[in-house]
A and B are shown apart, each in its own frame.
Chain A
Amino acid sequence: DAKTTQPTSMDCAEGRAANLPCNHSTISGNEYVYWYRQIHSQGPQYIIHGLKNNETNEMASLIITEDRKSSTLILPHATLRDTAVYYCIVRRPNAGKSTFGDGTTLTVKP
C-alpha cells in the first residue's frame, strides 16, 4: 500500500472550511484514498473515499488531484465537534491489511 504524508496538526476557525491535505505520491492505479477520523477516546469513523473523481457526502468532500498524488479532505463548515484526528489511507480495496499513520490533529476554535 502507498505511504501517505499528512501535517501533524492544523487549526480552523468555527464556521470556516477545514482543508486537510494528504500526500500520496506513490499511489498505484488501483489504490483508493480513504479518510477516517477519530474523536477523542473513540474508535475511528469512516468519512469518505475516492479513486480519481471528486466525491462528496453529508460529512465532507474529497478532492483528488488529476495525477492522484495528493488529496484534500474538506469540511465545509467546521464545528467544534469536528475537532479530531483525521487519517488519510491509501490502499487497494478488499485486499488485506489496513494500516493507519499518525494522522492530522484538527482543532476547531471558537
Chain B
Amino acid sequence: NAGVTQTPKFQVLKTGQSMTLQCAQDMNHEYMSWYRQDPGMGLRLIHYSVGAGITDQGEVPNGYNVSRSTTEDFPLRLLSAAPSQTSVYFCASREDRDFTDTQYFGPGTRLTVL
C-alpha cells in the first residue's frame, strides 16, 4: 500500500490564484480529513469526510472547498489564495472498522502565498 499520498509537495501561489491540493489513499478508509499547520502551531481541522458524497466543516473551513466523489480521493480547493493561507497542509485517513481509530497522515504540502 502507498498509504496516503499528497501532491504537490511544494507550491507557491500569488494572492488571488486558485488551486487544488490532491490527496489519495489506497486503504479503503471511509474517513478522510484535511488539516493545516502554521509555523510553531498545532494541527487545525479544515474539512473532513465520513464517506463518499459526505463532507463537513472543521475548525477553520473559510476559504477552502472539498468534495468526495470517491472513497480514494479527497481534494482540497483554495478558492482565492491569501497570504494567511501560507501553511503546511496535511491530509489524513482513518480506519473506522474497530476501536483503534488510527489516523494515517500524508507527507504534507507546503504552500506559500505571496
Could you list which residues of chain A lie within 8 angstroms of chain B, going by C-beta atoms? 32, 34, 36, 38, 41-46, 49, 51, 85, 87, 91, 93-94, 96-103
State in angstroms the CA–CA spacing of A45 and B106 once bound together: 10
B100 interface residue, CB < 8 Å from A? yes
Total A-B residue pairs with C-beta atoms closer than 8 Å? 73
Tell me whether A97 and B45 are in contact in the complex, defined as CB-CB below 8 angstroms, given that A42-B108, A43-B90, A43-B108 are known contacts.
yes
Query: CB distance A94 to B92 under 8 Å?
Result: no
Chain A residues within 8 Å of B96, by CB: 93-94
Please, which residues of chain A bring their CB within 8 A of the CB of B59? 99
Let me know if B103 and A32 touch, CB within 8 A.
no
In the complex, given contacts A32-B99, A98-B101, what are 17 additional A-B residue pairs having Cβ atoms less than 8 angstroms apart? A38-B43, A43-B107, A44-B103, A46-B104, A51-B99, A94-B97, A94-B98, A94-B99, A94-B101, A96-B56, A98-B92, A98-B94, A99-B45, A99-B59, A100-B42, A101-B42, A102-B41
B97 CB contacts on chain A under 8 angstroms = 94
Interface residue from B58, B100, B105 paired with A44 (Cβ < 8 Å): B105
The CA of A44 and the CA of B4, in the complex, are separated in Å by: 12
CB distance from B44 to the nearest CB of A (A): 8
B42, A91: Cβ atoms under 8 Å? no
Contact flags B66-107 to A (C-beta < 8 A → 1, else 0): 000000000000000000000010101010111111111111
Q: How far is the CB of A90 from chain B (nearest CB, A)?
A: 11
Distance of A97 Cα from B47 Cα, bound (Å): 9
Name A43's closest neighbour in chain B (CB-CB).
B105
